[in-house]
Amino acid sequence: MERSALQEAVKNLKLGKTILYPTDTVWGLGCDATNPNAVSEIYKLKNRVETKALICLVSSIEMLNVYIENVPEAAIRFLESATKPTTIIYNNPRLVAANLIALDNTLAIRVVTEGFAHDLIKLFNKPIVSTSANMSGHSSPKSFKEIHEDILKDVDYVVNLQNEKINTQPSTIIRICEDGSVDILRK
Residues paired with residue 175 on neighbouring β-strands, in sequence order: 89, 183
Read off the pLDDT of residues 105-131 as tens digits, 9 standing for 90 and up.
Answer: 999 999 998 889 999 999 999 999 999
Provide the β-strand partners of residue 140.
none
Whether 164 shows a pLDDT value over 70: the answer reads no
- Rounded to 5 degrees, what angle do the CA atoms 167, 58, 2 make? 60
What are the extents of the domains in the chain? 2-186
Q: Is 129 helix (H, G, I), strand (E, B) or coil?
A: strand
Strand pairing class (128-132; 55-58)? antiparallel
Cα 70 from Cα 52, distance rounded (Å): 23
| Ranges 59-68, 79-88, 132-141, 163-172: which has the least confidence | 163-172
* Per-residue pLDDT tens over the stretch 29-82: 999 999 999 999 999 998 887 777 899 999 999 999 999 988 888 888 888 888
CATH topology of domain 2-186: DHBP synthase (3.90.870)
